[in-house]
Amino acid sequence: MKLYGDYHTHTLYSDGVGSIEANLNAARKKGLSAIAISDHGFNNPSPFALRYATAVMQSRRLEILREDYKDLKIYHAIEADIISTEGDIDMRPEQFELFDFILAGFHRFARPWSLKDFFKLYIPAYISDVIRPSGDVIRRNTRAFCQMIKRYPVGILAHIDDMCIVNAREVAKCCADYGTLLELNAKHIDLTYRSFDQILSTDVKLIANTDAHYPQRIGCFEHVIEYLLPYPEIWERVVNAHTEEIKFRKYEY
């Protein structure tokens, strides 16, 4: 089993510890053919997230580096945040074109859309490890995630069920319907245990990523590969287990 690209990595532009070049060198050392630089979105606290101005700087830097790393397909991405029960994310449509694709997920430090969203979306997520969310909370979260997928060109849904618990079958089906890839996150693979059978009951395409915050973790897919060993039939659905270039969902202007 081999994975050819890592599409979720962080740098010093957010809360990673390495430079862009360090990530690219790590990908090259691992024998990857593709890598995405995907730092945290705009509503996370500074200096641990992108601002639009720094995202523009990052994009320009990547354009230069592509000339020196022609053996790598280099993507400029962003890990955006769901910030409301209506599925809003911390981006405006005019910002989409700066990026090759968008990852999106729940992050506890991202500034919510409103105080109401803080209490409805964030507070239940903060305590979900201690108090299992009620059916109403899970339905509300599920609707929020499905609304996000329908409203925005989310290329990859990041680490499903990380604090913000959803009906994984419904969200995975929505991903399949709209062409959003569902992430198998090596850093949070344990989150997949409780919902994997629900996910597999849909036609959603999967993508394995490391969510690396350290360059040395890029391309370290051992936990994902070990987890998938009992599911050999699923390997065909993991898009970066194939050498073909991935066509990510894009915004239609």
Q: What is the pLDDT of residues 1-51, one digit of tens each?
A: 799 999 999 999 999 999 999 999 999 999 999 999 999 999 999 889 999
Calpha distance 228→234 (Å, rounded)? 8
Please, what CATH class does the domain formed by 5-241 belong to? Answer: alpha beta
In the structure encoding, which two tokens stand for residue 237, read together?
């659905």
Calpha distance 155→209 (Å, rounded)? 13
- Domain-wise residue ranges, the chain: 5-241
Q: What is the pLDDT of residues 47-100, one digit of tens each?
A: 899 999 999 999 999 999 999 999 999 999 999 999 999 999 999 999 999 999
